[in-house]
Every structure is written in C-alpha cells, then in structure tokens.
Amino acid sequence: MKEAKPGWRELPFGAVPYKSSLEYHTGDWGVERPEFDLEKCTRCTLCHFYCPEGAIGFEAGHPEVDLRY
C-alpha cells in the first residue's frame, strides 16, 4: 500500500492519529487467507470471537471474512 504521508503541518494536533484504525487496511500483511467450507461449518460463531482483527462477521447468517483486514 503506497500512499503519500502527510507532512507535519497537515497532521492533527496532539499526535492524534490522522486516520482511524478502521481505515488501515492490513489484509495484505497476511501470508494465509482464511476460506470457509460452509458444508462443514456449524455456525458455532467461535471463529468470530477468535479472530484477532474482528474481521469475521455473521451478518449473512454464516461466517464472512472482510479480507481488507
């Protein structure tokens, strides 16, 4: 992810981050990508709670990964 970083005059006061962590897409840091076998998935939701990035949602009734994180 190449982007021009802001200079010191543009950065917010008081070392407040210039963007929220929601905007930091860290998905490309991973070396493995999770895939679900929905035939075997029991919808126990454990993966949702285990995911350290909180990137696994259940809005569709089954697990879905937001691969941006």
User: What radius of gyration do the chain's Cα atoms show?
Assistant: 17
Tell whether residue 12 is a contact of other proteins (CB under 8 A): yes
Q: Are 47 and 63 in contact (CB under 8 A)?
A: yes
Tell whether residue 15 is a contact of other proteins (CB under 8 A): yes
What residue type is 47 in one-letter code?
C
Tell whether residue 17 is a contact of other proteins (CB under 8 A): yes
Tell whether residue 5 is a contact of other proteins (CB under 8 A): yes
Q: Are 51 and 63 in contact (CB under 8 A)?
A: no
Tell whether residue 52 is a contact of other proteins (CB under 8 A): no
Catalog residues that contact other proteins under the rule CB under 8 A.
5-8, 11-18, 20, 22
